[in-house]
Protein backbone atom coordinates (compact mmCIF):
# COMPACT_ATOMS: atom_id res chain seq x y z
CA UNK A 1 0.00 0.00 0.00
CA UNK A 2 1.19 3.50 -0.82
CA UNK A 3 0.06 6.59 1.09
CA UNK A 4 0.55 9.71 -0.97
CA UNK A 5 -0.60 13.30 -1.19
CA UNK A 6 -3.97 13.60 -2.89
CA UNK A 7 -4.03 15.51 -6.13
CA UNK A 8 -6.96 17.39 -7.69
CA UNK A 9 -7.99 14.36 -9.76
CA UNK A 10 -8.17 12.12 -6.68
CA UNK A 11 -11.36 13.66 -5.35
CA UNK A 12 -13.48 11.67 -7.78
CA UNK A 13 -11.97 8.55 -6.18
CA UNK A 14 -12.39 9.87 -2.63
CA UNK A 15 -15.96 11.13 -3.05
CA UNK A 16 -17.72 7.71 -3.03
CA UNK A 17 -16.11 6.88 0.34
CA UNK A 18 -16.98 10.27 1.81
CA UNK A 19 -20.49 10.21 0.38
CA UNK A 20 -21.29 6.80 1.83
CA UNK A 21 -19.88 7.60 5.28
CA UNK A 22 -21.49 11.03 5.42
CA UNK A 23 -24.85 9.70 4.15
CA UNK A 24 -24.86 7.01 6.87
CA UNK A 25 -24.76 9.85 9.39
CA UNK A 26 -23.38 7.72 12.22
CA UNK A 27 -19.71 8.76 12.57
CA UNK A 28 -19.13 12.29 11.22
CA UNK A 29 -20.90 15.48 12.30
CA UNK A 30 -21.49 16.41 8.68
CA UNK A 31 -24.84 17.02 7.00
CA UNK A 32 -25.72 13.60 5.53
CA UNK A 33 -27.02 15.39 2.41
CA UNK A 34 -23.74 17.25 1.82
CA UNK A 35 -23.11 17.98 -1.85
CA UNK A 36 -20.04 16.77 -3.68
CA UNK A 37 -18.83 20.39 -3.97
CA UNK A 38 -19.20 21.05 -0.25
CA UNK A 39 -17.56 17.72 0.59
CA UNK A 40 -14.67 18.70 -1.68
CA UNK A 41 -14.26 21.96 0.24
CA UNK A 42 -14.46 20.16 3.60
CA UNK A 43 -12.00 17.36 2.73
CA UNK A 44 -9.66 18.99 0.23
CA UNK A 45 -9.79 22.79 0.17
CA UNK A 46 -10.10 23.52 3.90
CA UNK A 47 -7.40 21.00 4.75
CA UNK A 48 -3.76 21.87 4.98
CA UNK A 49 -3.03 18.55 3.31
CA UNK A 50 -5.04 15.53 2.11
CA UNK A 51 -3.71 12.04 1.48
CA UNK A 52 -4.92 8.82 -0.09
CA UNK A 53 -4.04 5.19 0.58
CA UNK A 54 -3.75 3.27 -2.64
CA UNK A 55 -3.38 -0.44 -3.34
CA UNK A 56 -3.61 -2.48 -6.53
CA UNK A 57 -7.39 -2.28 -5.97
CA UNK A 58 -7.30 1.54 -6.14
CA UNK A 59 -7.85 4.20 -3.48
CA UNK A 60 -8.94 2.44 -0.27
CA UNK A 61 -8.59 5.23 2.29
CA UNK A 62 -8.02 8.91 2.81
CA UNK A 63 -7.26 11.47 5.51
CA UNK A 64 -6.82 15.18 5.91
CA UNK A 65 -4.73 17.36 8.24
CA UNK A 66 -6.07 20.74 9.35
CA UNK A 67 -4.81 23.28 11.85
CA UNK A 68 -7.14 22.78 14.80
CA UNK A 69 -7.32 26.43 15.92
CA UNK A 70 -5.77 29.62 14.54
CA UNK A 71 -3.26 31.85 16.29
CA UNK A 72 -2.11 30.50 19.63
CA UNK A 73 -3.66 27.09 18.90
CA UNK A 74 -2.01 26.61 15.52
CA UNK A 75 0.59 24.16 16.85
CA UNK A 76 -2.13 21.47 17.20
CA UNK A 77 -3.63 19.73 14.20
CA UNK A 78 -6.83 17.82 13.61
CA UNK A 79 -7.27 14.90 11.22
CA UNK A 80 -10.16 12.99 9.72
CA UNK A 81 -9.92 9.47 8.29
CA UNK A 82 -12.11 7.30 6.09
CA UNK A 83 -11.44 3.77 4.89
CA UNK A 84 -13.39 2.11 2.10
CA UNK A 85 -15.84 -0.57 3.34
CA UNK A 86 -14.08 -3.18 1.17
CA UNK A 87 -10.76 -2.47 2.92
CA UNK A 88 -11.90 -2.26 6.57
CA UNK A 89 -10.38 -4.62 9.10
CA UNK A 90 -7.01 -4.67 7.32
CA UNK A 91 -5.19 -2.16 9.53
CA UNK A 92 -5.46 0.69 7.01
CA UNK A 93 -6.86 3.19 9.53
CA UNK A 94 -3.91 2.48 11.84
CA UNK A 95 -1.47 2.99 8.95
CA UNK A 96 -3.20 6.23 7.96
CA UNK A 97 -3.04 7.50 11.53
CA UNK A 98 0.65 6.61 11.88
CA UNK A 99 1.36 8.33 8.56
CA UNK A 100 -0.63 11.39 9.63
CA UNK A 101 1.39 11.72 12.81
CA UNK A 102 4.64 11.67 10.83
CA UNK A 103 3.24 14.21 8.37
CA UNK A 104 1.97 16.39 11.20
CA UNK A 105 5.44 16.46 12.75
CA UNK A 106 6.95 17.27 9.34
CA UNK A 107 4.46 20.15 8.98
CA UNK A 108 5.55 21.51 12.38
CA UNK A 109 2.63 20.45 14.58
CA UNK A 110 3.35 19.53 18.19
CA UNK A 111 0.14 17.64 18.96
CA UNK A 112 -2.92 16.10 17.34
CA UNK A 113 -6.45 16.49 18.64
CA UNK A 114 -9.64 14.76 17.54
CA UNK A 115 -12.46 17.10 18.47
CA UNK A 116 -15.50 14.88 18.08
CA UNK A 117 -14.99 11.10 18.31
CA UNK A 118 -18.36 9.49 18.93
CA UNK A 119 -18.53 7.20 21.95
CA UNK A 120 -20.64 4.88 19.78
CA UNK A 121 -17.73 4.46 17.33
CA UNK A 122 -16.12 1.70 19.39
CA UNK A 123 -13.57 0.71 16.75
CA UNK A 124 -12.22 4.24 16.37
CA UNK A 125 -12.08 4.84 20.13
CA UNK A 126 -10.16 1.58 20.66
CA UNK A 127 -7.78 2.33 17.79
CA UNK A 128 -7.03 5.87 18.87
CA UNK A 129 -6.33 4.70 22.44
CA UNK A 130 -4.06 1.95 21.10
CA UNK A 131 -2.18 4.56 19.05
CA UNK A 132 -1.49 6.72 22.11
CA UNK A 133 -4.40 9.15 22.20
CA UNK A 134 -5.96 10.06 25.53
CA UNK A 135 -9.59 10.94 26.02
CA UNK A 136 -9.28 14.40 27.58
CA UNK A 137 -12.93 15.35 27.58
CA UNK A 138 -16.47 14.14 27.05
CA UNK A 139 -19.28 16.16 25.51
CA UNK A 140 -22.53 14.64 26.80
CA UNK A 141 -25.30 13.93 24.29
CA UNK A 142 -23.30 15.72 21.58
CA UNK A 143 -24.52 13.80 18.54
CA UNK A 144 -27.94 12.68 17.34
CA UNK A 145 -27.09 9.17 16.12
CA UNK A 146 -29.66 7.85 13.62
CA UNK A 147 -30.01 4.50 15.44
CA UNK A 148 -28.81 5.10 18.99
CA UNK A 149 -30.24 8.52 19.74
CA UNK A 150 -28.08 11.02 21.61
CA UNK A 151 -24.52 9.79 22.14
CA UNK A 152 -21.49 11.37 23.79
CA UNK A 153 -18.50 12.65 21.85
CA UNK A 154 -14.91 12.51 23.06
CA UNK A 155 -12.09 14.97 22.64
CA UNK A 156 -8.94 12.89 22.14
CA UNK A 157 -5.38 14.21 22.24
CA UNK A 158 -1.81 13.08 21.64
CA UNK A 159 1.48 14.96 21.83
CA UNK A 160 3.64 14.40 18.80
Domain chopping of the chain, boundaries: 2-159
On the 0-12 / 13-18 / 19+ scale of CB atoms within 10 A, 116 is middle
**Closest to 61 (Cα-Cα) out of 24, 90, 35, 34:** 90
Per-residue pLDDT of 62-80, as tens digits, reads 999 999 999 999 999 999 9
**Is domain 2-159 annotated with CATH 3.40.50.300?**
no
DSSP-derived pairing of the beta strands 111-118 and 76-83: parallel
Q: How far apart are CA 105 and CA 144, in angstroms?
A: 34
Q: What is the Cα 8 distance to its own chain's centre?
A: 19
pLDDT of residue 74: 97
Dist. CA 100–CA 80, nearest whole Å: 10
pTM: 0.93
Amino acid sequence: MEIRAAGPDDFDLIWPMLRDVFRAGDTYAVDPRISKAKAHAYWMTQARATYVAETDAGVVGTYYIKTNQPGGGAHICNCGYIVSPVARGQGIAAMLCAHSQDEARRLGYQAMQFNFVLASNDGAVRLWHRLGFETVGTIPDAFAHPQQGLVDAYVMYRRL
